[in-house]
Structure 1
Amino acid sequence: MYALKVQTNKNDIKSLEDKMKEKGEDEHDDVLQLLLFNSYTIFCKYSSKGMSFYEYRSEVIEKLLPPVPSDR
């Protein structure tokens, strides 16, 4: 599998900000989306493990959420 090479610039981030504002998401969601996008960019740059943004996002969310409690 080949690593996805991502190059970002201010236009990419501005475009992402504009899309989020069009959707009406609040400022906290904007900040979290930009942080996630920036971390994905760094991940792609320095990791040999290639994955899509969706896969990366899913793994991050899975790691951040607490385990699901089992029913007793």
Structure 2
Amino acid sequence: MLKKVAKSDYNRKEGFVISQLQLNYTSEMEKAMHSAHGVGYALYSLKHEVRMKIEEKRQRNYIKSQRMIADLDRRVHS
């Protein structure tokens, strides 16, 4: 059985939409986000690609800092 398609459905794109993140942030957090990553929280919450890029950068920085701490710890305790 075929379903009749309404004219309004012809231009509709299929797929899914990831909704905007609901973030609570202060003006200081906004300034820090701009200075560290060059984007604000509004764009960060809207664009998945931007979020992923920033989170990958944060992950790299975290790993780098953990390696520095481990190196310093080895120097102090050897």
Q: State TM-score, norm by structure 2.
A: 0.32
Structure with greater Cα Rg: 2
Q: Larger relative contact order (C-alpha < 8 A, sep ≥ 6)?
A: 1
Q: State TM-score, norm by structure 1.
A: 0.34
